[in-house]
Chains A and B, each alone.
Chain A
Amino acid sequence: MKKLSKTTKSSLITYGIVVFAYIFCEIFMRTGHMSSLLKGILVPLCVYVVLAVSLNLTVGILGELSLGHAGFMCVGAFASAVFSKCMMETITVPTLRFALALLVGVVCAGVCGVLIGIPVLRLRGDYLAIVTLAFGEIIKNLVNVIYLGVDSNGFHVSMKDAMSLQMEPDGLVIIKGAQGITGAPTDSNFTIGVVLVLITLVVVTNLVHSRTGRAIMAIRDNRIAAESIGINITKYKILAFSISAALAGAAGVLYAHNLSTLTALPKNFGYNMSIMILVFVVLGGIGSIRGSMIAAVVLTLLPELLRSLNEYRMLIYAVVLIATMIFTWSPSAIGFRERYSPAKLFHKREKGVQ
């Protein structure tokens, strides 16, 4: 009973942080004390938090390395943006349109996760990392060559150029190869973003604390032992991985509906982005949901807050990154923290007084 309440308490604190941050931001925004920069960055912050938390499910809870998380985000982003652009006139309520787009994005990304998981998660070792790395690059390049148009005759797809779509004059080109999707409705806002973050947190924390979550963690800790007590390894691995992929797809949906352009560049959907999300997870603490949430917020805000340093800002960013890594993970730093932690110092002093 005691243990259960401890986990519940922990998840409640995590939700509390999000809700508190939301109320805090809303108050600042309503009273006009928030700079435009912060206002503009709120939705991206939600995107990165969702990404970090969802990747933590794969890396921290399932114990598999995924280097293609941006690929799932890309699938979610493009699937939902295509949907929204087609439905722009049919569905005029932005929230409803976004909810349906979210469903489309999540399902598409989740299906990709299952398709990749079925063959790869049966293997042992680092194969998932290699395959997801390839998946991310393939998706990015595929999206860059696809031309998709819609007219009265239905959809037209081409891998060559916009002219070979051979559309009627009334046709609308939705994906224009490397130029991506332009003019999809910008339906996302901070409230939707926070709701999405909360949904992600509820899904992940409840999964972790459930029977399924314990099975997944048992696989992570000792595969053979887990197998010996009758846990279906592949099933649980695919389950966790596809949920992680689907949540990344949700982040992609939010991303796609934040700006009026969507292109698959190496910068936003490539390998670098996947590594960036992994950095959030590692820095926040592998397996710690709250940690990856905070790390995502701090590391996204940092380069923007350092703008006043001009060209030194990326240098400082890198230094801060390394310093934080050392501070959180190096054994001597951990030892130092334990020896001089405030709680312990207080405790010692108390003893001294006695």
Chain B
Amino acid sequence: MKKLLSLAMAGVLAFSVAACGSNDTPAASDSNAAPEAAEAEDAEAAAPAEGGVLKIGGIGPTTGGAAVYGLAVMNAANLAVDEINAAGGINGMKVEFQFEDDEHDAEKSVNAYNTLKDWGMQMLMGTVTSTPCTAVVAKSAGDNVFQLTPSGSAVESIAQPNAFRVCFSDPNQGAASAQYIGENKIATKVAVIYDSSDVYSTGIYETFAAEAANQGIEIVAAEAFTADSKTDFSVQLQKANEAGAELVFLPIYYTEASIILTQASTMNFDPKFFGCDGLDGLLAVENFDTALAEGVMLLTPFAADADDAATKSFVSAYQEKFGDIPNQFAADAYDAIYIIKAAAEKAGITADMSASDICEAMKTAMTEITVDGLTGAGITWSADGEPSKDPKAVVINNGAYTAM
């Protein structure tokens, strides 16, 4: 019996070892075949019949805690690439898009970047999250590869000249929020609840606080929480209440915001709530009474139930293909692919250009184009990579976003 068991176990082991052995081989031969593949691709580009293939890489977390954002970007980018290819490609070139997982980790992100380089990537659409983006930008600047991040919002994320972004930067959002509150005289006594362990949240809070002073807004309470303590906010809300806050500014993501709104209503604390694009998705939180979100204001470049034709067709196509409503990250990625298209057409990119030549041409083209996208109309870029577009403020009315 024991012998039989050990034999069976050995069989399973041998099988699994063989399985991973055979899995290893293509990967290993892949990396060896990279130069050959590049040659083959050159030959293909030289073929006059078609415009060749433009290889665009993407990086973002598709596993782990931030997978929601990475998957949204991956899906939306694939959607945009399919649309472009169906419509004849960029300057007649077919677009090939490959997305690599970085698990929201700087080191893994650089690995993903190197994998894409081996694949023959000519432009990079990524990375999705800020910290990995900063690490990858340092590498891509060294290689002179054009990089457009859909959602890396930290200032350092596009510190190099080869990097541009679609979303607002964190300081931009914080300052815009303070200006909006100040100019529209929404409140003068403001409490802030933010996530001190999150780059996005602290980045917005800092500039909000700096700009608030100029706008005559008094920050009566600034309460922090961390990723390890984001299930109970009664202490922070109690402090905000005691300080007499008229408005609570929430530069955080929607999951925590839904808890804050629920807890505030149970303790009969009823201030105005104001958030940034992280709050987008609030109405879709499971088991959340959307009546509590009535009157919540947020600055977001994208609302999935907006009425314009572009948004409607994007949302329905996305929903049909992937089964859920796209969030702001998806919209940023969708725009990013079309921005690359616009800039590539402007710069006259051809598939046989090297990544470095493409980067030089794209850097100039990016500052010359104007794009109407889902996340803003008439977006233009300056040479430092920052987009210039108007922040849109929306308010939740009868369970839907309405423009303010």
**A interface with B by C-beta (< 8 Å):** 33, 35-41, 44, 137, 141, 144-145, 161-163, 176-180, 182-183, 186, 255, 258-261, 263, 265-268, 304-311, 313-314, 316, 319-320, 323, 326-327, 330, 332-333, 335-336
Contacts and interface: CB of A to CB of B under 8 A. Distances in A.
A179 to B, nearest CB: 5
B63 A144 contact: no
Contact of A332 (B9, B103, B106, B114): B9
B383 interface: no
8 contacts: A37-B117, A38-B114, A44-B107, A144-B226, A161-B209, A163-B206, A261-B138, A304-B111
Contact of A179 (B2, B24, B199): B199
B17 interface: yes
Nearest to A137: B228
Interface in B213-230: 222, 224, 226-228
Interface of B: 2, 5-6, 9-10, 13, 16-17, 20, 23-24, 26-28, 30-32, 34, 62-64, 100-101, 103-107, 110-115, 117-118, 131, 134-135, 138-139, 154, 156, 159, 195-199, 201-203, 205-206, 209-210, 222, 224, 226-228
A40 B114 contact: yes
A216 B319 CA distance: 63
B196 A320 contact: no
Q: Which 8 residue pairs of A and B lie closest in terms of their CB atoms, listed nearest first?
A: A35-B31, A260-B138, A36-B114, A40-B114, A37-B114, A36-B117, A305-B27, A261-B134
Contacts of A308: 26-27, 30
Nearest to A259: B135
Given A36-B118, A180-B131, A306-B23, 12 more contacts: A37-B31, A37-B115, A182-B156, A259-B138, A268-B107, A305-B24, A308-B30, A310-B101, A311-B63, A323-B16, A333-B10, A336-B6
B133 to A, nearest CB: 9
Contacts of A310: 101
Contacts of A186: 138
Contacts of B115: 36-37, 304, 307
Most buried by B among A261, A306, A307: A261
Contact of A145 (B23, B24, B196): B196
- The prevalent SS among residues of A at the interface is helix
Contacts of B117: 36-37
Contacts, number: 148
A19 to B, nearest CB: 23
B313 to A, nearest CB: 28
Contacts of B34: 35
A141 B197 contact: yes
B199 A183 contact: no
Contacts of A182: 134, 156
A163 B209 contact: yes
B202 A332 contact: no
Given A39-B114, A259-B110, A332-B2, A179 B63 contact: no
Contacts of A320: 16, 20
B209 A178 contact: no
B166 to A, nearest CB: 21
Contacts of A336: 6, 9-10
A168 to B, nearest CB: 16
Most buried by B among A38, A259, A265: A259
B114 A177 contact: no
Contacts of A183: 156, 159
Given A35-B34, A163-B206, A263 B131 contact: yes
A186 B203 CA distance: 24
B205 A161 contact: yes
B199 A178 contact: yes
B209 A141 contact: no
A178 B32 CA distance: 39
Contact of A162 (B27, B105, B206, B227): B206
B23 A316 contact: yes
B198 A178 contact: yes
B138 A333 contact: no
A305 B2 CA distance: 36
B62 A311 contact: yes
A308 B103 CA distance: 15
Most buried by B among A33, A41, A267: A267
Nearest to B113: A40
B30 A177 contact: no
Contacts of B209: 161, 163
A69 B227 CA distance: 21
B128 to A, nearest CB: 15
A36 B32 CA distance: 11
Contact of A35 (B9, B20, B114, B195): B114
A267 B103 contact: yes
Contacts of A33: 32
